[in-house]
């Protein structure tokens, strides 16, 4: 389709045309997408939005909490040191075994984990909560917090001509980057199909239709979506997977005249059923993507901070279909050479009796706005006094200290 066109995967550089369009872009593909923004800084800042609500207790398992085993039983990964066990994060928390590259970052001091974290909203609606997460407010706004922060940076550099790789204005920029500061969007050729999760649901919805049911099943097979792919147990055939995209973004950010800020998204987290089988695929995509981003950034990794966050967490107890339902607090990750990593930052609320929010969710004790503010102020060097309009209603939230290397 013409409206999903023309940026090639191999040469992901912003062109002069892109610069004229407002020196930023967004890529959308499958369950992942990215928006880019050039900025007057040598610091690199990437936001990864995990859409669908990542189960923080599975990604970063508090194996030291005695209440965990009773609540989570069959969803737990083996403790550190066991076969396919957790990657230890200092004796109380363990990283899911599918996050091996991120565990290496942790031990190398460039990944910090924030646990029991949540934004200010207590909505358990994906749509509302994602909008609030991106608006940086407890209400829907027409712009995102990262765009409003962008406007606080000094005027952008004059942009040199890039390669003549064509860029075409594409579909959507994530809400987090939408707003008055100019952000263009573009789509590489071949990007843009729905992800395996959506296709799986559609295949189920169409199964009984005498015309579209067999056609969709055959169409999926022809495109390489086997049942294993649709159920999340094998990687999607999409060559523009999240790791490939993250690598492309890393190259763009690394370029001397490239953009400095990017927002990516990755879906596949809404594990209402069969979580043990489905979560490793999504976590593996995230893990490989983070590794690809780091590799592609090269020397620029030292000046990089990556914020990974999701709209809310999931219920502490297992539901009736071996999954988890919509909850509240969860994990966030901050990675990069600029990050004072190798730590789990948490005011751990505990899982025992009486400690859960509404007797179902992990209690939030860290405000994601405090994390974002710390990165905008400490990493992008925006005067903290000017951050008020970036997070309306969060003026009293102080940036987390010590998240970045001095």
Partner 1 sequence: MAYDPQIAAIRFGLGRRAGEAIPTDPQAWLARQLDGEDPGLAAPLHGSSAGLRLLHETRTRSPGKGPNSRQEPKDQIRDIFRADTGAALDMLLTTATPFRERLVWFWANHFTVSIRTQILAGVINAYVSEAIRPHVTGRFEDMLLAVMRHPAMLFYLNNAGSIGPLSPAGQRSKRGLNENLARECLELHTVTPASGYTQADVTEFARVLTGWSIDFERGEPGFIFRPATHEPGSKTVMGKSWPQGEAGGRALLHWLGTHPSTYRSVATKLVRHFVADAPAEADVQRIAGILQQTGGDLKAASLGIVGLESAWRPLGKLRSPFDYVVAVMRALDLPAERRGNLNEAMSSLGQGLHNAPLPNGWPDTAAEWAGPEAIMRRVDWAYAVAGRTDGIDPVRLARDALGPLLPADTHEAIARAGSHREAMTLLLASPEFQRR
Q: Is 282 helix (H, G, I), strand (E, B) or coil?
A: helix
User: Is residue 239 part of the contact set for partner 1 (CB under 8 A)?
Assistant: no
Find the shortest distance in angstroms from Cβ 152 to partner 1.
24
Q: Measured from the CB atom, is 207 or 228 closer to partner 1? A: 207
Give the range of 86-94, 216-224, 232-240, 377-385 binding partner 1 by CB under 8 A: 216-224
Find the shortest distance in angstroms from Cβ 220 to partner 1.
7
User: Which of left, alpha, beta for 206 (phi over 0: left; psi -120 to 50: alpha)?
Assistant: alpha
User: Is residue 320 part of the contact set for partner 1 (CB under 8 A)?
Assistant: no
Q: Say if CB 38 and CB 14 are below 8 A apart.
A: yes
Crossing angle for the helix pair 275-297 and 100-107, to the nearest 10 degrees? 50
Q: Measured from the CB atom, is 130 or 248 closer to partner 1? A: 130
Mask 276-315, x = binds partner 1 (CB under 8 A)? ----------------------------------------
Q: What gap in Å lies between CA 404 and CA 381, rounded to an integer?
A: 12
Q: Measured from the CB atom, is 124 or 343 closer to partner 1? A: 124
Out of 66, 82, 223, 386, point to the residue binding partner 1 (CB under 8 A): 223
Q: Say if CB 151 and CB 181 are below 8 A apart.
A: yes
Q: What angle do CA 10, 15, 18 make, to 5 degrees?
A: 115
Among the listed residues 228, 170, 174, 173, the one whose alpha carbon sits nearest the alpha carbon of residue 196: 228
Residues 120-139 that bind partner 1 (CB under 8 A): 126-127, 130-131
Residues 158-187 that bind partner 1 (CB under 8 A): 171-172, 175
Find the shortest distance in angstroms from Cβ 224 to partner 1.
11
Out of 42, 154, 160, 208, point to the residue binding partner 1 (CB under 8 A): 208
Q: Say if CB 305 and CB 334 are below 8 A apart.
A: yes
3-state SS record for 128-183: HHHHHHHHCCCCCCCCCHHHHHHCCCCCCCCCCCCCCCCCCECCCCCHHHCCCCCC
What is the layout of strands, in order, in the sheet containing 87-88? 60-61, 94-95, 87-88
Q: What gap in Å lies between CA 309 and CA 357, rounded to an integer?
A: 20
Q: For the chain, how many helices (H) and strands (E)?
A: 12, 14
User: Is residue 14 part of the contact set for partner 1 (CB under 8 A)?
Assistant: no
User: Is residue 215 part of the contact set for partner 1 (CB under 8 A)?
Assistant: yes
Q: Measured from the CB atom, is 85 or 213 closer to partner 1? A: 213
Partners of 95 in the β-ladder: 60, 87
User: Is residue 119 part of the contact set for partner 1 (CB under 8 A)?
Assistant: no
Q: Measured from the CB atom, is 1 or 353 closer to partner 1? A: 1
User: Is residue 273 part of the contact set for partner 1 (CB under 8 A)?
Assistant: no
Structure-block tokens of residue 198 = 């959506």
Mask 185-204, x = binds partner 1 (CB under 8 A)? -------xxx--xxx-xx--
Out of 269, 301, 312, 333, point to the residue binding partner 1 (CB under 8 A): 269
b/e map 284-301, b = 16+ CB within 10 Å:
bbbbbbbbbbbebbeebb
Out of 47, 196, 240, 270, point to the residue binding partner 1 (CB under 8 A): 270
User: Is residue 219 part of the contact set for partner 1 (CB under 8 A)?
Assistant: yes
Give the DSSP per-residue string, 38-79: --S-S-EEEEEEETT---HHHHEE-TT-TTHHHHHGGGPPPP
User: Is residue 28 part of the contact set for partner 1 (CB under 8 A)?
Assistant: yes
User: Is residue 241 part of the contact set for partner 1 (CB under 8 A)?
Assistant: no
Find the shortest distance in angstroms from Cβ 184 to partner 1.
14
Find the shortest distance in angstroms from Cβ 138 to partner 1.
18
Q: Which residues bind partner 1 (CB under 8 A)?
A: 1-4, 28, 51-53, 126-127, 130-131, 171-172, 175, 192-194, 197-199, 201-202, 205-206, 208-213, 215-216, 218-223, 267-270, 272
């Amino acid at each position: 389709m013409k409206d999903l066109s023309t940026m090639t995967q191999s040469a992901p550089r912003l062109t002069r045309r892109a610069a004229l369009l407002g020196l930023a872009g967004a890529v959308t593909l499958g369950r992942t997408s990215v928006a880019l923004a050039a900025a007057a800084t040598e610091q690199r800042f990437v936001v990864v939005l995990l859409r669908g609500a990542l189960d923080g207790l599975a990604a970063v398992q508090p194996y030291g909490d005695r209440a965990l085993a009773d609540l989570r039983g069959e969803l737990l990964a083996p403790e550190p040191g066991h076969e396919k066990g957790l990657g230890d994060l200092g004796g109380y928390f363990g990283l899911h075994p599918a996050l091996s590259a991120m565990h290496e970052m942790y031990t190398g001091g460039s990944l910090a984990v924030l646990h029991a974290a949540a934004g200010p909203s207590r909505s358990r609606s994906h749509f509302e909560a994602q909008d609030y997460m991106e608006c940086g407010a407890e209400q829907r706004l027409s712009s995102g917090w990262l765009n409003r922060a962008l406007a606080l940076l000094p005027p952008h550099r004059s942009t040199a001509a890039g390669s003549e790789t064509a860029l075409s204005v594409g579909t959507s920029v994530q809400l987090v980057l939408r707003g008055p500061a100019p952000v263009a969007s573009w789509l590489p050729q071949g990007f843009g199909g729905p992800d395996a999760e959506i296709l799986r649901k559609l295949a189920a919805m169409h199964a009984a239709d005498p015309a579209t049911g067999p056609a969709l099943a055959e169409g999926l097979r022809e495109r390489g979506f086997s049942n294993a792919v649709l159920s999340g147990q094998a990687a999607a055939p999409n060559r523009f997977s999240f790791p490939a995209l993250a690598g492309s973004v890393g190259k763009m950010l690394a370029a001397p005249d490239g953009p400095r800020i990017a927002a990516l998204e990755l879906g596949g987290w809404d594990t209402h059923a069969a979580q043990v089988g489905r979560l490793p695929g999504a976590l593996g995509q995230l893990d490989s993507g983070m590794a690809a981003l780091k590799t592609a950034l090269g020397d620029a990794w030292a000046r990089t901070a990556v914020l990974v966050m999701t709209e809310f967490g999931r219920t502490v107890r297992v539901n009736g279909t071996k999954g988890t339902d919509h909850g509240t607090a969860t994990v966030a990750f901050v990675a990069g050479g600029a990050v004072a990593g190798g730590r789990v930052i948490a005011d751990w609320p505990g899982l025992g009796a009486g400690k859960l929010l509404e007797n179902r969710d992990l209690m939030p004790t860290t405000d994601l706005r405090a994390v974002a503010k710390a990165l905008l102020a400490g990493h992008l060097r925006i005067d903290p006094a000017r951050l008020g309009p970036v997070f309306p209603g969060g003026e009293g939230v102080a940036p987390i200290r010590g998240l970045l290397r001095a």
